Structure 1
């Protein structure tokens, strides 16, 4: 007997047909394709309808166009949940391509099982500041970008530049303890590999 697929009730927003095919291999779900990084008005209307009826999870590629799409949709439909696949998980096995359509089925399932929901602006103050991110070595220095990506993966908020990283920490209400635990895990991993 084959195990049943994970069922996702929300509609999953992806970038294109290849992403839809990969998601449908991983889980039983419906998708909405943005068909490009401009996200046309009729697609925003579909996403708004889906959000009001079933809920929406945004699962875009971990690159600039994918982040741009995520930002456009989040501004138009703030109630969307977010799932992230790391750049490493999104790399194609054969070295060509980088995105959801190239991710392992397990990576897609894990991303969808670790969905983050945003909180309202009034509730976003988690106490973390730019100084906390800088003190953790995530803003400046030779390894800041890579370290920020690793911490983002651990927290299931994906990679972002310093300013966006702080916004995501606040948007998903990640507190000091959770943040510092993730940083400590990354630093310990760095020590073990050096």
Structure 2
């Protein structure tokens, strides 16, 4: 098996979801950290790997796969011969695609944006991001009332795609204690063999309390 390379950034939830899935699949890979603050992801060498200049990018056998959700689909299709993570049943595949869209939509514009405001001081409206977060987390909490996983009876790439930014929502000032079913779901992912965490940043609800 060829050496996989993952070009990313350790505090990027998009990068983490791919690192996490590679680990869950027990795949060895080299993580290549890009200096986003100096625009390394916008330089010609990287643009040749991803025309949109975004991380992550997976290199496999001289080919490049860009976009974190697309990478999850690629890895599940290539390295999971039993199709546990991306079942071939058309209904389950459609449901998984729906939740990949949730990861790329309200999760990206909610928890992810609220987080990057506090972690990177990005020019986003954190109040809007927090409102979107409340809506999507309330919906997911209801969805998970009698469910262990987002789709079907087993973990899938739908869970992996949504995990990282929801788990780190407190960095954006979002209290996950309001969503007990979401917390249970996060805990189940964290108990999977091969789970690796994304580093926490001491901002938002993770900010150390000031001593008085």
Q: TM-score, normalised by structure 1?
A: 0.29
Q: Relative contact order (alpha carbons < 8 A, sep ≥ 6): 1 or 2 greater?
A: 2
- Structure with the larger helix share: 2
What TM-score results when the alignment is normalised by the length of structure 2?
0.27
